[in-house]
Structure 1
Amino acid sequence: MTDPSDLEIELAQLNKLNTEKRKSDVTVQTTVVPSAGNRVRRAPADPGPPPDGGLHAWLTVFGASLIAFSTFGIVNSFGAFNDFYRAQYLSNASATLVSMIGAVQVFILYISAGFVGPIFDAYGPKYLIPASGITTSFSLFMLSIVKPHHIYQQFLCQSVLFNIGAAFGYLPAMSIVTHWFAKRTAYALGIVLGTASLGGIIIPIMMNHLIPTIGFGWTVRIIAFVVFVFYAIASVTIRTRRPRKPLPPLLHIIDLRAFQDTRFAVFTAGAWLTIMSVFNPFFQVGAYGIAAHGADPLTPYLLAIMCATSIAGRVLPGHIADRLGRFNTIVVSTAISSILTLSLWYSSTAETNVVVFAALYGFASGPFFSLLPACVAQISPPDRIGARIGMLFATLSFGALAGTPIGGLFIREITVANFQHLILYTGCFGLAGSFVLLLARLQCSRRLLVAV
Structure 2
Amino acid sequence: MAETCNDGQEEQSVGTVTLETPNLRQELAKDLSPPTFPEGGLQAWATVAGAFLVQFCGFGYTTSFGVYQDFYTRVYLTQSSSSAISWIGSINAFLVISGGLVSGHFYDRGHFYPLLYGGCLLLCFSLFMLSLCQPEKLYQIFLAQGLGAGIAAGTVYIPSVAVVSHYFQKRRALAMSIVASGSSLGAVIHPIMLNNTFHSRLGFANSVRASAGLVSGLLLIACLLMRPRLPPAQTQPPFWKSLRRFARDKAYILATLGMSTFTVGFYFPLFYLQLDAITHGINQTLSFYSLVIMNASSFVGRLSPGFFARKLGIINMVAAASGCGAVLILCMIALKSTASVIVIGVLYGYCAGVFVTLMAPLLAILTEDLSELGLRMGVSFAVVGIGGLVGPPINGALLTGHFVWWRPALFSGVRGLRIMFGVEDLRVGNAI
Out of 248, 272, 280, the position equivalent to 1:260 is 248
CA contact (8 A) 2:90 2:392 kept: yes
Out of 222, 245, 257, the position equivalent to 1:234 is 222
Q: Does residue 420 of structure 1 match 2:395?
A: no
Q: What pairs with 1:30-49 in structure 2 (closer than 5 Å)? A: 48-49=35-36
268-277 vs 107-116, which deviates more?
107-116
235-244 vs 11-20, which deviates more?
11-20
Residues 32-74 of structure 1: CA deviation (Å, up to 9, x unaligned): xxxxxxxxxxx95766232322222211110000000110011
Distance in 2 separating the partners of 1:414 and 1:201:
29
Q: What pairs with 1:264-275 in structure 2 (closer than 5 Å)? A: 264-275=252-263
1:136 corresponds to which residue? 123
Q: What pairs with 1:189-268 in structure 2 (closer than 5 Å)? A: 189-211=176-198, 212-245=200-233, 248=236, 251-252=239-240, 255-268=243-256
Out of 84, 87, 90, the position equivalent to 2:71 is 84
Residues 330-388 of structure 1: CA deviation (Å, up to 9, x unaligned): 1111111112222x322231111111111111011211111001000001121111111
Distance in 2 separating the partners of 1:408 and 1:118:
34
CA contact (8 A) 2:233 2:371 kept: no
Corresponding letter in the other structure for 2:112: P
Out of 370, 376, 385, the position equivalent to 1:397 is 385
Going from structure 1 to structure 2, the CA distance change for 1:213 and 1:247 (only over 3 Å counts) comes to farther
Q: Does residue 165 of structure 1 match 2:152?
A: yes
238-247 vs 128-137, which deviates more?
238-247
* C-alpha deviation, 1:437, in angstroms: 2.1
* C-alpha deviation, 1:276, in angstroms: 0.4
Q: Does residue 363 of structure 1 match 2:350?
A: yes
* C-alpha deviation, 1:440, in angstroms: 1.8
Distance in 2 separating the partners of 1:220 and 1:48:
44
Residues 254-291 of structure 1: CA deviation (Å, up to 9, x unaligned): 73531210000011111111010011011010111122
1:386 corresponds to which residue? 374
2:139 corresponds to which residue? 152
Corresponding letter in the other structure for 1:413: G
1:51 corresponds to which residue? 38
1:325 corresponds to which residue? 313
Q: Does residue 299 of structure 1 match 2:287?
A: yes
Corresponding letter in the other structure for 2:50: G
1:75 corresponds to which residue? 62
Distance in 1 separating the partners of 2:412 and 2:115:
35
Other structure's SS at 1:126 match: helix
CA contact (8 A) 2:108 2:372 kept: yes
Distance in 2 separating the partners of 1:378 and 1:288:
38
* C-alpha deviation, 1:14, in angstroms: 4.9
Gaps of 5+ in 1: 1-9, 30-42, 446-451
Q: Does residue 347 of structure 1 match 2:334?
A: yes
**Identical positions, percent:** 31
1:372 corresponds to which residue? 359
For normalisation by structure 1, the TM-score amounts to: 0.87
CA contact (8 A) 2:97 2:157 kept: no
Gaps of 5+ in 2: 12-17
1:441 corresponds to which residue? 427
Distance in 2 separating the partners of 1:44 and 1:233:
33
285-294 vs 143-152, which deviates more?
285-294
Q: Does residue 15 of structure 1 match 2:8?
A: yes
* C-alpha deviation, 1:239, in angstroms: 1.9
Distance in 1 separating the partners of 2:81 and 2:33:
54
CA contact (8 A) 2:104 2:377 kept: yes
Going from structure 1 to structure 2, the CA distance change for 1:295 and 1:263 (only over 3 Å counts) comes to same
2:14 corresponds to which residue? none
1:174 corresponds to which residue? 161
CA contact (8 A) 1:108 1:164 kept: yes
For the pair shown, which has the larger CA radius of gyration, 1 or 2? 1
* C-alpha deviation, 1:26, in angstroms: 3.3
CA contact (8 A) 1:62 1:234 kept: yes
Going from structure 1 to structure 2, the CA distance change for 1:13 and 1:283 (only over 3 Å counts) comes to same
* C-alpha deviation, 1:252, in angstroms: 4.0
* C-alpha deviation, 1:113, in angstroms: 1.0
CA contact (8 A) 1:50 1:180 kept: yes
